[in-house]
Structure 1
Amino acid sequence: MSSKTRSRWGWGFEGEMIDEDELRERKAYLESALGFPERPVLEPVPLAEATIPDPAIEIPDHLADCCSSDRAVRARRTYGMARPETIRAFHGDFTPAPDIVARPTTDSEVEAILAWASEQHVAVSPVTGGTGVAGGTGPPSGDVRTGYAGTLALDLRDLNEVLEVDETSRTALIEGGTLGPDINDQLDEYGLHLRHYPQSYRLSGLGGWIATRSGGHYATRYTHIDEFVESVRMVCPAGTFETQRLPAHGAGPDANRLVCGSEGSLGVITRAWMQVEPRPAYRSDAAVYFDGILEAATAIRRIVQSKLTPANCRLHDRVETSLYGMDDLEQDLVVLGFESIDRPTDAALDRALEICETEGGVCPDGPDHYGPGYGRDRPDDSDVARWGTAFQLGASGSTDVPLCVVGGTVETAVTWDRFPRFHEAMLAAVTDAVESECEMGHVSTRFTHVYPDGPAVYYTFRAPGDPDPDRRIEQWQRIKRAGLDTVMEYDLTPTHHHAVGRDHREWYAAQIPENYGTALRAVKGVLDPAGVMNPGVLVDPPERG
């Protein structure tokens, strides 16, 4: 199991973050290729100089073996990876730090922690990898924090085992705190793996994936973690909520779906039976170029409606590729990939390329195929490989914070018929906000997932930000609001795969039926009667007299 220490503010581990040379290269690229004014290069505030309040409550004796109030431990469990959080952490502001961090090793310890927290009215924030980007990972602050005796971060990392593997049914019982690489390392001896790869894969784990309805990098069919959940156990203040282990059922509303997306507001996901499979033996991929977003979107729509089910079918406009350093591409890029456990994938990719060609797409380098009998690997200089490397570095945002860049995303899902009008309105709204707040910047578009009835479309903004962290957070908030307000004008969702958290809750409340919100609060009242689970996420915390 990973014992490395996570960075307090960036995507990675201490000692493995972006080095000074890479940071200087990124600064030069922002200024020369993207036209940013000269960027400062800031240093993170050392932990010894950070603002971390003293704990407001003491650890009870019966929980002393699994709890800590250590200053550094509490700092590392203060925030997730939402941009305001990373900015505050970089600048040493850990004002909302939890009073206690608990690391249970058994379900019984989780039960004891929740019983004590309910009795003492201590807010509990479950956390696996701490990579949430919607402000729902850490303890509550501000008005939401008022009225609670204290706060506790419940860290699941010691619940990190693959407990059982059913090779016949291809399922595995996995504890909620197991991180992505550890899951697949343990499954590897069976020749199996869990086919879910969010961008945070290296740092995040099963409980967080299920709680946030995490989206993976597979563009069709297996788009969300929900598709892999067979049954789940969630420890709640009112008792354990555990679903049956079944391949499927038709008995009323699916109880698994109540857990998927609950975001720690109902209980703590301690284990789940998950569908697993062998690694693919065959792959095919290609980079296709289009002269316009709408032409590329039409090709993608035809591919997904043909039921070819590509593993990868991502659209990146020419602004997107330039933001991540591929400024030599002058067209919009579609990355196509197919994979199979037991048969070649040539024919599926060839058909997808035929569709692209009829919509104006070109594939100058041709497709690449891998698997038994091909005897070669993907060339490192292919645009598919180049994009993967550039995206992993640039999309993490680890260079944005020290260079005072305002970076963020707004993502949603829209039906194909509405996409052209929505896309035009969205680009205009976010671009106007970027120029108003930062005077200049760039707004890009990509499709992360695609469905027969529409794409999950994702808008990224990057602009020169103010060196003052409070002002930079304000710039981010105003640009993000402009995008989310436009999303709601088109009656869409404020999140396709980044969860609701606290950052999206205002717009989530506008998306769902009012009586659904009432029903959700009633369910929370049953499973979490004292209202201590992740207050302020999904629904309002209960009013207290």
Structure 2
Amino acid sequence: MSSTPRGRWGWGFENELIDEDGLRDRKAFLESVLDFPERPVLEPTPIAEATIPEPEIEAPDHLDSFCTSNRAVRARRTYGMAPPENIRAFHGDFSPAPDVVAQPRTETDVEDVLEWATDRRVAVTPVTGGTGVAGGTSPPAGENRADYAGTVALDLRNLNDVLEVDEQSRTALIEGGTMGPDINDQLEAHGLHLRHYPQSYELSGLGGWIATRSGGHYATRYTHIDELVESVRMICPAGAFETQRLPAHGAGPDANRLVCGSEGSLGVITRAWMQVEPRPRYRSEAAVYFDGVLKAAAAIRRIVQAKLYPANCRLHDRVETTMYGLEDVDRDMVVLGFESTDGPTEGAIERALEICEEAGGDCPDGPDHHGEGYGCSRSPDSDVVRWGRAFQMGGAGNAAIPLCVVRGTVETAVTWDRFPAFHEAMLAAFDEVLEPECGMGHVSTRFSHVYPDGPAVYYTFQAPGDADPDRRIEQWRRIKRAGLDTVMEYDLTPTHHHAVGRNHREWYAEQIPENYGESLRAVKGVLDPAGVMNPGVLVDAPEEE
């Protein structure tokens, strides 16, 4: 586990946040390439000057050995990574800070915290890396907080071991607080890894991935962490909830699915048996260019419906590549990648490239084959590698806060037949709100994951924002609402892989059947009878009689 703390107001670790040179370069890029008006350059409020309220409660003596009310620790466990949270953190507003941060060392410690919280009516927010972008990682605030005696952030990062590896079944028992790199460092001795690489990989961990139904490396087939969960154990205020370790079953609704996506509202994920595998020995990848998103989409649809199952099959329109600094890419780009632990991948990518060519795409550099099986390393100068470097966490995102840029995303999933009309409607909705709110702005389109019946579409908006943090947050909310309202006009989902949290809950309530929400509340009433687990996320606790 890294000893370097996560950045207080941006992606990456504290020592990786954008420096003065990077900020100057990004400012020049925004103004000269994206035509933003001149951007101010703000300085973050030092933590010593930040607003961090005094705790309203203290941990009892029997929990004192692993709990703290230290001011700086509480500040670091106040927010996730949603844009409004980053803006508030940058400006030194930690008013929702938890009263206590618990850092349990064992599952028994977790049980003791939940028993105390239930008895005293203290709201509990489980957290691993704290990288959630939907407002579900922070303690409750406002009306959600008013009903509680206090709040505790339950930091699981001391539960960070791979406990057991079954090499024959290719599964591993992993504790919920284990961060992504630590999981694979420990599995390396067995020649295995957990092939799940969300963009937050270095900063997030297994419990958070399962709780939020994290989307990862695979663009097809194994798109969510759910597909890799064999069994899971969750400690709830009412006791342990543990599923069987089975390859599969047909006995009623799958209990694993109740835990996956529960977002800390039912209990704390302490361990899970996960499917693991050797690292790929063969890889093939290519960048293909199209004149138009719809042409690229048609090619991708044929690829996934042909069941070629590329590990990477992502569309990035020319707005997105420009936003990330690849100004020389003037067409819409599809990144293809195939991988195998067993045999060569040339045949699969060649067929995919044939489909792309038939749909109007071209691949000027051809495919790149690399890996242990091919006996060669990855070409460092390919467009795929260039894009990967540009797309790494930080950079554009971290610069947004000090340069007063309103930046956010709306992501969903839609069937292929409705995508053209939906895409046009989304761009129109953003256009209608960006000018009155910000004077101008840009919206990019990406396919983050793709399925035989449709893509997961990911829109990123970027616009000049107000220097006042409250006004800038309101600009973000209005632009995001315009996108989400359009999503729901097409009867889609407010999130494909960013979770519900508190930011998407209004639209999640529209998505699900009313009696499904009632069913979730009933389950919460059984597993969390006092309603202390992550209040305001997913559904409310049942009303007390």
Q: CA deviation at 1:541?
A: 3.7
Match of 1:145 in 2: 145
- Going from structure 1 to structure 2, the CA distance change for 1:360 and 1:527 (only over 3 Å counts) comes to same
Q: CA deviation at 1:109?
A: 0.6
Q: Count how many residue pairs are aligned between Structure 1 and Structure 2.
A: 545
CA distance, structure 2, for counterparts of residue 109 and residue 47 of structure 1: 30
CA distance, structure 1, for counterparts of residue 517 and residue 206 of structure 2: 26
CA distance, structure 2, for counterparts of residue 452 and residue 174 of structure 1: 32
| Deviates further, 15-24 or 398-407 | 15-24
Q: CA deviation at 1:381?
A: 2.1
CA distance, structure 2, for counterparts of residue 24 and residue 539 of structure 1: 44
CA distance, structure 2, for counterparts of residue 500 and residue 255 of structure 1: 20
Secondary structure, counterpart of 2:297 in structure 1: helix
Secondary structure, counterpart of 1:37 in structure 2: coil
CA contact (8 A) 2:66 2:103 kept: yes
CA contact (8 A) 2:282 2:373 kept: no
Match of 1:28 in 2: 28
CA distance, structure 1, for counterparts of residue 250 and residue 131 of structure 2: 34
Deviations 1:486-520 (A, max 9, x none): 00000000000000000000000000000000000
1:49-448 equivalences under 5 Å are: 49-372=49-372, 374-393=374-393, 397-448=397-448
Match of 2:470 in 1: 470
CA distance, structure 1, for counterparts of residue 109 and residue 477 of structure 2: 38
Secondary structure, counterpart of 1:188 in structure 2: helix
CA distance, structure 1, for counterparts of residue 375 and residue 217 of structure 2: 26
Give 2:166's aligned amino acid. D
Secondary structure, counterpart of 1:5 in structure 2: coil
Q: CA deviation at 1:346?
A: 0.3
CA contact (8 A) 2:6 2:12 kept: yes
Secondary structure, counterpart of 2:457 in structure 1: strand
CA distance, structure 1, for counterparts of residue 14 and residue 450 of structure 2: 36
CA contact (8 A) 1:314 1:335 kept: yes
CA distance, structure 2, for counterparts of residue 390 and residue 499 of structure 1: 25
Secondary structure, counterpart of 1:334 in structure 2: strand
CA contact (8 A) 1:147 1:544 kept: no
CA distance, structure 1, for counterparts of residue 197 and residue 373 of structure 2: 27
CA distance, structure 2, for counterparts of residue 516 and residue 327 of structure 1: 47
Q: CA deviation at 1:397?
A: 1.1
- Going from structure 1 to structure 2, the CA distance change for 1:261 and 1:391 (only over 3 Å counts) comes to same
Match of 1:500 in 2: 500
Deviations 1:42-86 (A, max 9, x none): 111000000000000121011001100000000000000000000
CA distance, structure 2, for counterparts of residue 142 and residue 327 of structure 1: 44
Deviations 1:181-234 (A, max 9, x none): 000000000000000000000000000000000000210011000010000000
Secondary structure, counterpart of 2:63 in structure 1: helix
Matched residues, percent identical?
Answer: 79
Secondary structure, counterpart of 1:6 in structure 2: coil
CA distance, structure 1, for counterparts of residue 232 and residue 246 of structure 2: 11
Q: CA deviation at 1:18?
A: 1.7
Give 1:511's aligned amino acid. Q
Structure 1: runs of 5+ lacking an equivalent: none
CA distance, structure 1, for counterparts of residue 458 and residue 43 of structure 2: 30
CA contact (8 A) 1:438 1:464 kept: yes
CA contact (8 A) 1:237 1:528 kept: yes
| Deviates further, 6-15 or 473-482 | 6-15
- Going from structure 1 to structure 2, the CA distance change for 1:261 and 1:373 (only over 3 Å counts) comes to closer
CA distance, structure 2, for counterparts of residue 168 and residue 431 of structure 1: 54
Q: CA deviation at 1:379?
A: 2.3
CA distance, structure 2, for counterparts of residue 416 and residue 156 of structure 1: 40
Deviations 1:376-402 (A, max 9, x none): 322222110111111114676111111
CA distance, structure 1, for counterparts of residue 373 and residue 165 of structure 2: 31
- Going from structure 1 to structure 2, the CA distance change for 1:396 and 1:200 (only over 3 Å counts) comes to farther
| Deviates further, 247-256 or 12-21 | 12-21
**TM-score (norm: length of structure 1):** 0.99
CA distance, structure 2, for counterparts of residue 38 and residue 404 of structure 1: 10
CA contact (8 A) 2:56 2:150 kept: yes
- Going from structure 1 to structure 2, the CA distance change for 1:50 and 1:72 (only over 3 Å counts) comes to same
- Going from structure 1 to structure 2, the CA distance change for 1:377 and 1:51 (only over 3 Å counts) comes to same
- Going from structure 1 to structure 2, the CA distance change for 1:395 and 1:214 (only over 3 Å counts) comes to farther
Q: CA deviation at 1:4?
A: 1.4
| Deviates further, 8-17 or 394-403 | 394-403
Deviations 1:429-448 (A, max 9, x none): 01211112101010010000
CA contact (8 A) 1:487 1:494 kept: yes
| Deviates further, 367-376 or 221-230 | 367-376
CA contact (8 A) 2:18 2:395 kept: no
Q: CA deviation at 1:180?
A: 0.1
Q: CA deviation at 1:304?
A: 0.2
Match of 1:482 in 2: 482
Give 2:109's aligned amino acid. E
CA contact (8 A) 1:144 1:541 kept: no
CA contact (8 A) 2:81 2:132 kept: yes
Secondary structure, counterpart of 2:510 in structure 1: helix
CA distance, structure 2, for counterparts of residue 403 and residue 341 of structure 1: 44
Give 1:73's aligned amino acid. V
Structure 2: runs of 5+ lacking an equivalent: none
CA distance, structure 1, for counterparts of residue 43 and residue 382 of structure 2: 35
CA contact (8 A) 1:283 1:370 kept: yes
CA contact (8 A) 1:284 1:337 kept: yes
Deviations 1:106-126 (A, max 9, x none): 111100100000010000000
Q: CA deviation at 1:373?
A: 6.0
CA contact (8 A) 1:408 1:476 kept: yes
| Deviates further, 32-41 or 516-525 | 32-41
- Going from structure 1 to structure 2, the CA distance change for 1:182 and 1:393 (only over 3 Å counts) comes to closer
- Root mean square deviation of aligned Cα: 1.0
Give 2:356's aligned amino acid. C
Match of 1:14 in 2: 14
